[in-house]
Amino acid sequence: MNPLRILSLLAAGALLSGPAQAVAASAPAAPLTAAPAKAAGITRIDPTFWWVGMKNPRLQLLVHGPGIGNRTVALSYAGVTLDGTQKLENPNYLIVNLTIAPTAKPGKVALEFRGAKKLTYQYDLRARTTPNDPTKVQGVTSADFVYLLMPDRFANGDPKNDNIKGMRAPAVARDSMYSRHGGDLKGIQDHFGYLRELGVTAIWPTPIVENDEPKTSYHGYALTDFYNVDKRYGTNEEYVQFVQNAHRSGLKVIHDVVLNHMGTSGYLVQDAPAKDWFHQWSDFTRSNFRDAAFNDPYVSQYDRKQFGEGWFDKHMADLNQSNPLVSNYIIQNFIWWVENTGLDGYRVDTYGYSERKFLMDWGAAILAEYPRIGLFGETWVQGTAQQAYFAQNIFPTVDGFKANLPGVTDFQLQYAINEALTRDAGWTEGVNKIYYTLQADWMYQDPMRNVLFLDNHDLSRYYSVIGEDFAKYKMGLAWLLTCRGIPQLYYGTEVLMKNYSNPDGKVREDFPGGFAGDQKNLFTTRTGQEAEAFSYVSKLANYRKTHPVLHSGKLMQFIPDQGVYTYFRYNDQGEAVMVMMNSNKEEKTVETSRFAERLNGFSGGTEITTGAAVADLKTLRIPGRTAWVVELKR
């Protein structure tokens, strides 16, 4: 997250605030939301269950219960070996290390916790389903069109889960931008048909795991339980069904995760396993949000420590991933979600804030188990080199870090398209910014894995940024759906939802029609420019879906001339699409002789969004504030 955005959210009350909480083993225990205890004296075990046949045979169990750390452990199960236990600073925890041999069969492993009175916990080992099911863990590629939504703000499909007894946040209050509004998993699922009509192939909800914080819990980025879906969205079982139903509907699911921190209301904070489970400061210290401290060759150690170990906010405890027990806990959790649900990809929030060795270990472990999975991280940074540093790149190892993350959220191109539509062309300014940003793609191993976007849940909405200019709106959408990479659309952009991120957070307003009593239902009834916008996105997205040249073809760009930027998507089969963007107010005449290497052999074309014929490719007169997407014909 960008530091300026963080400060503005703090001022507006959008981020959690309150007195700093000490993270210590003596902190009071919070109410638990895990499954009912299976044995007296054992509150829970994470991971809550596991599988036989994983590539990594080792399993670290974090056992929680009053005084459990004072017990010894025994088991007898064919193929499962007890590798020992480890006591923690807090006697309410015990680490149990197991090795699960390839010969082990699914079943219940009786874990005996011996003390004054023996306790037995039946730990569930299951059969894997992902390796032989092609509908699971499909990955996310440039062939996809990703739809980012906030579950709480999209649609309320099950009013019965609006208010859950015992949870800290107050009841649903749709008149407050920082309260829960009632959206849920069923609300998303009820509109799978709408998403398919739009041309979407992958859904990215903001975090759906439990976020039981007393304030501003709707966004999900201060999780309080790694292993449970927030009950106001649904249950774990309903999430598994959600992913399965999405796959049946031709939609992939991207799971939004936070590696760097967690909410202070979670049981791991309230009754911490040890002080070194989280980064400690004598007084509350917020991160300086300066990602450059990660790889600045002249950095002070204080600045680097504050960036990586400072807390994101007072209710977001910073996880100490240099502790191998913490690292293993997080890695296992995100393997667990994939195997349990069959989800297709992870978007990693605040990617660059985590400890660097941990990032490499996390990425390697996930990709080892699931080579097809889509992985991309939030990199809200300055400069393409800094962005490429966090992705798989051509750089040498820097201070022990070599990124293995396949893709990133491409903020640099988001800056560029906004500049192209809001600033006149100059030598490097305006539409030329796109050219120079794409020119820097040489730094990535594969820039096609980067995620393109016009806006998101942290940014002012695209339609407002461009001054609600509908011509510019179409230009930006044309670029989004024809440029290299994986396009992502923020919910409501297709029906011209607008507003700014400051000061009141209205970029996260409810989708009209998703909630009982809404005056408009834009899921079903669209008129005027709202209808035209939806139609434009749908036509281009669905064309892209069925024409691989546009989503997987090569890219060739030409230096912008007089504010007109031209690029081609093409393949070895002789197919080509020409995109020409005129950023000027006035019409421009373009002589195309310099495009000969891409136009030779083609006699004309068809503009995809209008169906208009382009008969003469030698001289083109393109209206002002227009983007043409032309399928070339021989």
- As a whole number of Å, the CA-based R_g of the chain is 26
Q: Is 378 a catalytic residue?
A: yes
Mean pLDDT over 274-282 rounds to: 97
Let me know whether 531 and 491 are in one domain. Answer: yes
Given the residues 378, 441, 458, 510, the one annotated as active site: 378
Of the candidates 46, 230, 271, 349, the residue annotated as catalytic is 349
What CATH number is given to the structural domain containing 102?
2.60.40.10
Does residue 335 form part of some domain? no
Asked whether residue 611 is domain-assigned, the answer is yes
Domain final residue, candidates 127, 162, 190: 127
Token pair for residue 429? Answer: 């300014």
Interval 139-187: pLDDT, tens: 999 999 999 999 999 999 999 999 999 999 988 999 999 999 999 999 9
- Does the structure show a pLDDT above 80 at 25? no
Asked whether the predicted pLDDT for residue 459 surpasses 60, the reply is yes
Task: Write down the mean pLDDT value for the chain.
Answer: 93
Q: Please check the confidence at residue 16 and state whether its pLDDT lies above 50.
A: no
What pLDDT does 36 receive? 40
Residue 286 lies in a domain: no
Residues 566 and 613 in one domain: yes
Instruction: Name the percent of the chain in helix, strand, coil, to the closest 5.
Output: 30, 25, 45
pLDDT over threshold 80, residue 8:
no
Res. 13: pLDDT tops 90: no
Same domain, yes or no: 540 and 484: yes
502-517: average pLDDT: 93
* 54, pLDDT greater than 70: yes
- Please give the average per-residue pLDDT across 418-432, as a whole number: 97
**Residues 348, 378 contacting (CB under 8 angstroms):** yes
Question: What is the distance between the alpha carbons of residues 421 and 258, in angstroms, rounded to a whole number?
Answer: 32
Q: Do 443 and 376 reside in the same domain of the chain?
A: yes
Q: Does residue 52 lie in a domain region?
A: yes
pLDDT the model gives residue 2: 55
| Ranges of H-type helices in 481-589 | 528-546, 548-552
Answer yes or no: is 278 within a domain. Answer: no
Instruction: Choose the weakest-confidence range: 19-28, 44-53, 322-331, 554-563.
Output: 19-28
Of the residues 519, 546, 573, the one at which a domain ends: 546
Domain containing residue 361: 134-256+341-546
User: Which two structure tokens, joined as six digits, stand for 487?
Assistant: 């396009």
Single out the residue of 482, 458, 462 nearest to residue 421, CA to CA: 462
Closest among 604, 611, 445 to 543, alpha carbons compared: 611
Residue 114 and residue 163 in one domain: no
Residues 200 and 57 in one domain: no
Strands (E), 321-454: 345-349, 374-377, 407-408, 451-453
Q: Are residues 489 and 378 in the same domain?
A: yes
Say whether pLDDT at 28 is over 90: no
Query: Mean per-residue pLDDT for 22-45?
Result: 49
User: Of the candidates 127, 147, 171, which is a domain's last residue?
Assistant: 127
Q: Same domain, yes or no, for 352 and 232?
A: yes
Q: Same domain for 168 and 237?
A: yes
Number of domains the chain is built from: 3
Please report the pLDDT score of residue 502 as a whole number: 86
| 481 close to 125: Cβ distance less than 8 angstroms | no
Query: Are residues 575 and 512 both part of a single domain?
Result: no
- pLDDT at 505 (0 to 100): 84
The reply to whether 189 falls in a domain is yes
Residues 199, 185 within the same domain: yes
Pair (436, 472) in one structural domain: yes
Told to judge if 83 belongs to the known catalytic residues of this protein, a careful annotator would answer no
Q: What is the pLDDT of residues 526-562, one digit of tens each?
A: 999 999 999 999 999 999 999 999 999 999 999 999 9
Q: Give residue-wise pLDDT tens across range 373-413.
A: 999 999 999 999 999 999 999 999 989 999 999 999 999 99
Q: Assign residue 451 the CATH number of its domain.
A: 3.20.20.80
140 within a domain of the structure (yes/no) = yes
SS3 80: strand
Let me know if residue 261 belongs to a domain. no
Question: Across the strands, what pairs with 613?
Answer: 606
